[in-house]
Chains A and B, each alone.
Chain A
């Protein structure tokens, strides 16, 4: 089961999806657009996790499921594993990917034009757009973990690109 698609198709589809939801469907309502994109990611993650756990034995605890996400699931989706997994042993996990595939094609540095204030506002705008693109992978992780029986909240942190951290907070 499962045929292959080209990576550029996926990149174009994701870019277009974020752009459509932000600029056409929910223009001026970024929170609603973000929630819709995250909901799409939730359903996709749900389906993908069901598909990729077909062959393997089930998970005995939360850590096993998170490790599955970091290794097998991430390799199938992004052809690499999560580079760093941190936990506080109280239900919070930080998954760090040093080179997140879907952000590699996005520009990260800006030539400083006129004045520090303008650069700061451009930077803030850029971060806003980039964070929009991260709602989909957050949704995928949340959907996959929910299907494996772990209700959680996932947020992304892009303080240093192209590395990207996903913070998973398990609901007690």
Chain B
């Protein structure tokens, strides 16, 4: 079953620090830009919603055609946003939790400046593996 999915991590300063197309569908150039546009547009909604709840996983917060945006906010106000077309809430929650652990490991690197782009290929490989496993 081919799924489209686009995953970005946005820091507390509203700067995207990581983005990846993790779906198993064939990648199209215009689709990638559309996905990023949808995710960035959803940031305002996340901003409002994040203050109303103390949970980390905010489920589906926005829709576009048949694509849904789900968001996970950490205590440091870093947002993990996933654009997807499946309805697998539990899988997505587990995916977010595992990526959160990976993100903390990146943060623990003393040479990583918090808020800068994540360029580690190891991180990239692991995120894609997690996406294949849970999405």
Pick the contact of B73: A47, A51, A58 (CB < 8 A). A58
A23 within 8 A of B: no
A57 touches B55 (CB 8 A): yes
B100 touches A51 (CB 8 A): no
Known A147-B76, A148-B75, A149-B77; contact A57-B54, beta-carbon cutoff 8 A? yes
A59 touches B108 (CB 8 A): no
B110 touches A43 (CB 8 A): yes
| Chain A interface mostly | loop
A60 within 8 A of B: yes
Taking CB atoms, residues of chain B closer than 8 Å to A56 are 75
| Chain B interface mostly | loop
B110 touches A59 (CB 8 A): no
Interface size class of B (residues with CB under 8 A): 10 to 19
A58 touches B56 (CB 8 A): yes
Q: Which residues of B52-81 are within 8 A (CB) of A?
A: 54-56, 73-77
Known A57-B56, A58-B54; contact A148-B104, beta-carbon cutoff 8 A? no
What is the distance, in angstroms, from A142's C-beta to the closest C-beta of chain B?
14
A51 touches B76 (CB 8 A): no
B12 within 8 A of A: yes
A1 touches B75 (CB 8 A): no
What is the distance, in angstroms, from A77's C-beta to the closest C-beta of chain B?
15
What is the distance, in angstroms, from B94's C-beta to the closest C-beta of chain A?
14
What is the distance, in angstroms, from B30's C-beta to the closest C-beta of chain A?
36
Q: Which residues of A50-94 are within 8 A (CB) of B?
A: 50-51, 53-54, 56-60
Given contacts A1-B101, A148-B75, 8 further A-B contacts (CB under 8 A): A46-B107, A50-B104, A53-B75, A58-B55, A58-B73, A59-B54, A147-B114, A149-B76
- Chain B residues with CB under 8 Å of chain A are 12, 50, 54-56, 73-77, 100-101, 104-105, 107-108, 110, 114
- Chain A residues with CB under 8 Å of chain B are 1, 43, 46-47, 49-51, 53-54, 56-60, 147-149
For the complex of A and B, the 9 pairs showing the least CB-CB separation, nearest first, are A53-B75, A57-B54, A147-B76, A58-B54, A58-B75, A50-B107, A47-B108, A60-B54, A51-B104
